[in-house]
Amino acid sequence: MRNEQPSQPLSPEIDQSPPDSTLEPAPLPAADEEMTRKPQPKRQQHTMRAGLAVMAGRTAGAISRRLHLGGGTSIVGVVAQRVYPDIIEHLATELEHGSLMVTGTNGKTTTSSFIAAILRDDGLRVWRNREGSNLVGGVASSLVIRAQPNGHLRRAGKAISILEVDEAALPKLVDAIPPRVIVFTNLFRDQLDRYGEVDSIVTKWKQAIAQLPDTTTLVLNADDPTIAQLGDSFAGRVLYYGIDDLSLKDDPAEQEAERHQVLDVRTCSNCGSDYEYSKRFYSHMGHYHCPNCGKQRPTPDVRVTHVQMDTFDRIRIQIESADEQREIVVPLPGLYNIYNALAATSVSRALGIGWEPIISGIEQSKPVFGRGERIQADGKTMRLLLAKNPTGFNEVLRTLFSDGISRHILFVLNDNIADGQDISWIWDVDFERVPGQTETLVISGTRALDLALRLKYAGVAEKNMSIIPTARLKAHRNTETPRQKRLKKKREIKEQLAEMPGSQERQYGIKIALDSALQQTPVGETLFVVPTYTGLLEVHRELEQRGFTPHYWEGRDA
Amino acid sequence: MMSPNTTQQPLTLTLGHLYPDQLNLYGDRGNILTLRRRCQLRGIELRVVGLGVGDALAPDEYDMLFIGGGQDKEQAPVADDLHEMKGIGLWAAIEDDMPVLAVCGGYQLLAHYYRPAEGPDMRGLGVFDAWTEHKGTKVPRCIGNVAISWNGQTLVGFENHGGRTYLGTAKPLGKVLKGNGNNAEDQTEGAIYRHAYGTYLHGSLLPKNPHFADHLIELALQRKYGDRAITENDLFNGNHTNKAAEIGATVLELQKTTVSPLLTPLEDSLEWEAHASMLERLGLYSEAATILRTHKS
C-alpha cells in the first residue's frame, strides 16, 4: 500500500494558473462539487481546491475557538469537507507511512495513545485525531489542521496517522483512506438510540471490511466473539490477540455480579447456538466455543500469558508473540487496559516494529483525556475515569471497588446527544458493588436524579449521597401556588419540611458538584470522577478555568 | 414482617421473568429490581424465576410475569418458543387475571404479528388485538423520551422502536402527551388486556413510575390473597414498617390518596423528583409541578 513511498508525486507546478472554476471563493456552488467528485481530474485542480478547503476549515476552527463554541476540533473538518468533499482522501495519500485505524466500543482512545507512543519511540512522526472527534468530520480536521494553504500536508515525510474511528463511521472512512492496519477492540451495547442495535454495527463493519484491499492487516480481539468472527471471510492478513492467563481471579463477589450482567453476544455467528465459556474475563470477553458446530476462539498470535497487579495502576503483564516473551508494565488500572496494551502491541507487531519501542511506549505513556487521567488539585489527586456505556461503567466500578478500599466518588451522568439520550443502561450496570464502598459520594449531571435512583435501588442510603443535578426543576421554583405565596405561614412550614432528612435543599450545577466533591475529599486522598462523555468535557472545562489542566485542544500532537 | 393476623406465613409473590437472556435490551433489569425492592420494603418476598427458551410456563407457579425487549435477531427464536412452549400457559395466566408487563419487543410479541420491513412476519400470541409493522429503513425509528397519561396520572420513559403498532379493539395503556407512542400517528401508547399491560416505555419503566409498579404488585396480591385482602384490610399494612426500618428506608406513616390503599406507602420523593424532571424535559411543566405538589411532603 502506501507504505514506504510517497503515494502521489507532488505537483511542482503549484503556481500554474488554475482553471476558472477553482478561483471562485468558498463555499463553491453545488455544480462544481459534482464536477470535482468525478474520478481522475487533474491533480493540481484538486490541490487548489484542497487549499481553499484548508483555509476555510482553519478559519472556521479559529472562529469557533475564539467564540468558545468548543474545542473547535470537529468544525475544521466539517467546513473543509463542505468546500472539498474528497479532502480526506486528498490529504491522506500524502502521508509517507499511511494510516492506521482503531475502532470498537471501548478502548479506542487509550489504544491509539499507546500506539502513538510506540510509533514515536520508533522514530515516526505521528498524527492523530484527538479528543473524541472520531466521526468523519473529526478525521478530516486532523488532516486539515496539518495542511498548508497550498493544499499539501506539512511535513508528510516519516508521517503516519492513527485514526480513532467511530464504530458507525467506519465504512465511509475506509473508503476514503484504506488503512494499512485496522484494529477492532470490542463491541458492546452503546448508545442504542444513536447506533441502533448492536447487530447493525456488525453489519456496517462487515461492509467496511469487504471494501478493504487485501494489503490491509486486520488486528482482532480473539476474546470477543463478535470481533473475532470479522476475520472469517477476510482475504488479507489477520492477527488475533487475547488473554491466556487462566489464573486471573474470579472472586466470589464478581461471580455474583456476573450473574446479573447483560451480555451482548451469546450466540454463535455460524449456527446460532449459545456459546459456552471455559473462562470469562468480563461481559462476553473470554474463552468461548460453540458446542454445536465447534466454532471456537481463534488462537491468539499475540497473547498475555500472565497478569500481575503491582498496584492500582501498575499491572505487570507477560506478553508473547512469535515465541518471544516480554514483560510490560501497563501504567493504567483495570483489565480493560490490558486489552488496550495488547491491541497496541499487536498493531505494532503487524507493522514489524521491535520490542524496545513497544515496551517503552506503553510503559511511559501518560493516561489520556479522561481515561485514568490524573490531575492535582489543592493537595488532592483527581482521577478521571470516563464511563460511557454499561461495560465501560462496570469495568470502572470493578476497578474501583474490588480491593475493599473506600473511595471518594463523583459520578456525572449526562444525556446529551454525544452521551446517548437513553440512559436505561444504568440499570444494567452493577451499582450493587457501591454500597458501603464509598467514603463520600456526589452525583451530578443532567440525569443525576436517575442515577441517584439507581443507586438507591442498589442499596445506597439517600443520606450517603449528595445529589447535585445540573439544573433546578422549574417546578421547584413554582411549587408554591398563588395561595401558598400569600400564606407566608405555609411557606415556613415548607421550609421546616425541607430540613427533614431526605428532602434537604438541593444545590445545582457541575461547578458546585465538583466543589462539593473536592471539599469532601481530604488533602492527600484521591477523588475518582466517573463521568459520561459530555460530563467529562464539563469537568475538564471547569478544571481548566481553575487552572488545573491545559486546554484540551492544545495537545502535543500538532 | 409477619402478618399480625390469621396467617403465620410471610406474603410471597413469584415473578416469572420471560427470556431474561434474550430480551434484556433496555435496562429491563431495572423493572425487576424495582418490583423486588418495593415488595421487600413491605415485607413481601418476591421470588424471581427466569423462564428461558425451552422452559414451559405453568401458570399456577407464578403471580406475575415480565417480558422485555430484544434485538430482532434474538426476537425471532423467542417468538417461536413463546408459541410452542409458553403460549397456552401464558393465555391461561392472562385469562386468570395475572398481571403481566410486556415492554417493547415483548409487547410486540403479545400482539398478533410483527411485520418486518423485509422477510416473513413474526407471529405473536394475539393477547392484544393489535399488530406491528416496520415501514422500512427510510421511515425514522421512534426514539426519544416519552410521557403518557395513564389513569389520570403520568407515566414517563424512553422509547426506541422501529415498528409501528396499531390497535384493533385493544384498549391503549394511555394517551401520548409527548413522544411517539404506538405509531406516532394516533396518540395511543401501549395496550391493555385484562391485567396484561404492553408498552414501549423503558428507561427503565418502573423505577421512575412507582405508582405503576405498585399497581402491578397490588394486582398480584389481590389475585393471590384476594379474599383476605378485602376482609382484613390491614393485612398489607401490618407492622411492615419495622421491616422497612431494618433495611434503612423511611416509611411514611401518613397514607397518601394517590397510593394504592392496600400497600404501605414508601418514601418515594426521589422517584417522583426524577419523574417530574423527565416531565419538565418534555415541556410538561404543569404536570411536573402537580407531581411535586402531590408527592413532596
The domains of chain A, with CATH numbers, are 20-364 (3.40.1190.10), 371-471+508-545 (3.90.190.20)
Which among B37, B180, B277, B278 is the top mutation candidate for probing chain A, defined by the most A β-carbons within 10 Å of its own β-carbon?
B277
Confidence check: pLDDT of B103 > 50: yes
Q: Which pLDDT score, from 0 to 100, does residue A485 have?
A: 54
The domains located in chain B, with CATH, are 12-211 (3.40.50.880)
Q: C-alpha cell of A295? A: 466454532
Kindly report, residue by residue over A301-316, the tens digit of the pLDDT: 999 999 998 888 889 9
d(CA A471, CA A513): 11
Q: What is the largest CA-CA distance in chain A?
A: 85
Q: Which pLDDT score, from 0 to 100, does residue A486 have?
A: 56
Which of A29-38, A135-144, A517-526 shows the lowest mean pLDDT across its residues?
A29-38
Q: Which pLDDT score, from 0 to 100, does residue B231 have?
A: 42
Q: Which of B221, B251, B248, B224 is nearest to B239 (CA)?
A: B251
> What residues have CB less than 8 Å from B223, skipping those under 6 apart?
B63, B96, B97, B98, B99, B195
Interface of A with B (CB under 8 A): 189, 192-193, 196-199, 260, 262-263, 266-267, 272, 421-428, 449-450, 452-454, 456-458, 461-462, 467, 469, 473-476, 478-479, 481, 497, 500-503
Q: C-alpha cell of A12? A: 511542482
In the set A232, A422, A430, A450, the catalytic residue is A422
CB–CB contact A461 B248 (8 Å): yes
Interval A220-247 mean pLDDT: 93
Q: C-alpha cell of A447? A: 440525569
**Which band of pLDDT confidence, cut at 50, 70 and 90, is reported for residue B256?**
very low
Q: Which pLDDT score, from 0 to 100, does residue B104 have?
A: 92
In order, the DSSP letters of A254-275 are HHHHHHH---S--B-TTT-PBP
d(CA B157, CA B201): 5
Confidence check: pLDDT of A361 > 70: yes
B202: chain A residues, CB-CB within 8 Å = 424
Q: Which of A106, A170, A123 is nearest to A395 (CA)?
A: A106
**Which band of pLDDT confidence, cut at 50, 70 and 90, is reported for residue A45?**
confident
What number of C-beta contacts closer than 8 Å exist between A and B?
117
Nearest to A424 among B33, B158, B289 (CB): B158
d(CA B31, CA A77): 43
The answer to whether B164 is a known ligand-binding residue is: no
The helix or strand, by DSSP H or E, that contains position B146, with its residue range, turns out to be strand B142-150
Kindly identify which residue of chain B lies nearest to residue A461, measuring between CA atoms: B248
Cis, peptide link before residue B204, omega less than 30° from 0 = yes
d(CA B211, CA B257): 11
Window B:81-140, CB contacts with A under 8 Å? none
Percent of chain A with pLDDT over 70: 79
Higher pLDDT among residues A402 and A41, named by residue: A402
CA quadruple A169, A174, A179, A182: dihedral positive or negative? positive
Interval B250-276 mean pLDDT: 70
Higher pLDDT among residues A3 and B10, named by residue: B10
Which of A114-123, A237-246, A341-350, B24-33 shows the lowest mean pLDDT across its residues?
B24-33
Nearest to B269 among A474, A481, A502 (CB): A502
**Which residue type, as a one-letter code, is found at position B170?**
A
d(CA B276, CA B290): 9
Confidence check: pLDDT of A18 > 50: no
CB–CB contact B71 A427 (8 Å): no
Interval B40-63 mean pLDDT: 94
- DSSP lists the bridge partners of residue B167 as B130
Contact B122, B214 (CB under 8 A): no
Which of A35-39, A131-135, A439-443, B21-25 shows the lowest mean pLDDT across its residues?
A35-39
d(CA A485, CA A330): 61
Q: Which pLDDT score, from 0 to 100, does residue A35 have?
A: 41
Cis, peptide link before residue A9, omega less than 30° from 0 = no
- DSSP lists the bridge partners of residue B143 as B160
In order, the DSSP letters of B23-34 are S-TT-THHHHHH
> What residues have CB less than 8 Å from B237, skipping those under 6 apart?
B262, B263, B264
In order, the DSSP letters of A135-149 are SHHHHHHHHHTTB-T
Higher pLDDT among residues A391 and A72, named by residue: A391
Contact A50, A151 (CB under 8 A): yes
A233 backbone dihedrals φ, ψ, rounded to 5°: -115, 15
Nearest to B276 among A192, A425, A475 (CB): A475
Which among B273, B275, B295 is the top mutation candidate for probing chain A, defined by the most A β-carbons within 10 Å of its own β-carbon?
B273
Distance between B96 CA and the closest CA of chain A, angstroms? 31
**Which band of pLDDT confidence, cut at 50, 70 and 90, is reported for residue A29?**
very low
- Confirm or reject contact between B273 and chain A (CB < 8 A): yes
Nearest to B280 among A462, A474, A502 (CB): A474
Confidence check: pLDDT of A258 > 70: no
Q: Which residue has the cell 458446530?
A: A293
Interval B111-129 mean pLDDT: 91
CB-side neighbour CA atoms (13 Å) of A375 = 24
Torsion of CA A256, A262, A267, A268, to 10 degrees: -80
